[in-house]
């Protein structure tokens, strides 16, 4: 089944909020959900707010949130994707939002194994990754080019399906609308904290960003792929 997987397929792709895609693909009601995130666009709090019967644990691999939403079904923790602070088989759903491509090459396989470990039999892994090939990506590429890391993350997911460690349920491709007030908001939310944003590269990036500006900010559509996998029973 892995030979049917594609890193990107533009046919029939529509613009959609990430929450709408998650609600379409996942049985969120009364589920225990682990959400791993490495930057802006965290989907866990949105799920907790929209689906009150769910229980959501968010692990921010760059540190705890400074202002977590006050929701009784939402918990924030710090941790690492290759050392998830959770018991075996403790979640129905694991969401990895832009995480696998941000994990270093030597830790990526361990991170995917950890996601599988904390899933219950029959549980779902919802692996969301951007696709390199948009105006948004072009602006960030001068500081941090993730193209090869995204390819490596995709190949790892395919390998997990080929090996039988996980089963492919489906793939979903969509354009995620993003509105940003200024370039600094983009850099804070979508670049690793240790990336230096300065000099001629920043000047050029700001010019590209400003071309997208409108009355409410700069509007982008980020091409996204969801690989939905199931842990065998």
Give me the CATH code for the 2-134+145-178+223-230 domain, please.
3.40.50.150
Tokens linked to 8 = 């990107």
C-alpha angle 171/48/77, rounded to 5°?
Answer: 95
pLDDT tens-place string over residues 141-181 = 989 899 999 999 999 999 999 999 999 999 999 999 999 99
Confidence tier at 2 by pLDDT (50, 70, 90): very low
For 106-131, b where at least 16 C-beta lie within 10 A, e where not — what string? eebbebbebbbebbeeebbbbbbbbb
Cβ(152)–Cβ(1) below 8 Å: no
- Mean of the pLDDT values across residues 94-107? 94
- State the Cα–Cα distance between residues 204 and 230, nearest whole angstrom: 43
Specify the DSSP element, H or E, that contains 18: helix 18-25
Strand duo 217-230 + 167-180: pairing: antiparallel
What residue segments make up the domains of the chain, in order of their start?
2-134+145-178+223-230
For residues 8-28, give the mean pLDDT: 96
CA 97-75-231 angle, 5° bins: 50
Q: In 10 A of CB 195, how many CB atoms? A: 10
Mean pLDDT calculated for residue range 203-217: 95
Q: What is the DSSP letter of 79?
A: -
Triad 177, 129, 212: Cα angle to 5°: 30
> Measured between alpha carbons, how far is 67 from 40 in angstroms, rounded to an integer?
13
pLDDT at 65: 52
């Amino acid at each position: 089944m892995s030979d049917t997987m594609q890193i990107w397929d533009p046919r029939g792709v529509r613009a959609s909020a990430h929450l709408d895609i998650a609600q379409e693909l996942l049985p969120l009601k009364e589920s225990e959900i682990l959400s791993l995130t490495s930057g802006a666009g965290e989907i866990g709090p949105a799920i907790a707010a929209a689906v009150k019967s769910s229980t959501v644990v968010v692990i921010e691999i760059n540190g705890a949130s400074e202002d977590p939403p006050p929701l009784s079904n939402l918990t924030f923790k710090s941790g690492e994707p290759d050392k998830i602070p959770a018991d075996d088989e403790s979640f129905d759903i694991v969401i990895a939002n832009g995480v696998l491509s941000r994990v270093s090459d030597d830790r990526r396989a361990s991170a995917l194994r950890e996601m599988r470990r904390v899933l219950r039999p029959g549980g779902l892994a919802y692996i969301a990754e951007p696709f390199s090939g948009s105006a948004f990506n072009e602006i960030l590429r001068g500081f941090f080019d993730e193209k090869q890391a995204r390819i490596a993350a995709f190949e790892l997911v395919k390998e997990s399906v080929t090996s039988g460690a996980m089963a492919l349920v489906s793939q979903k491709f969509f354009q995620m609308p993003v509105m940003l007030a200024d370039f600094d908001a983009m850099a804070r939310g979508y670049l690793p904290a240790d990336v230096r944003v300065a000099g001629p590269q920043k000047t050029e990036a700001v010019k590209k960003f400003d071309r997208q500006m409108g009355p409410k900010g700069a509007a982008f559509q980020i091409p996204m792929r969801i690989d939905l996998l199931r842990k065998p029973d």
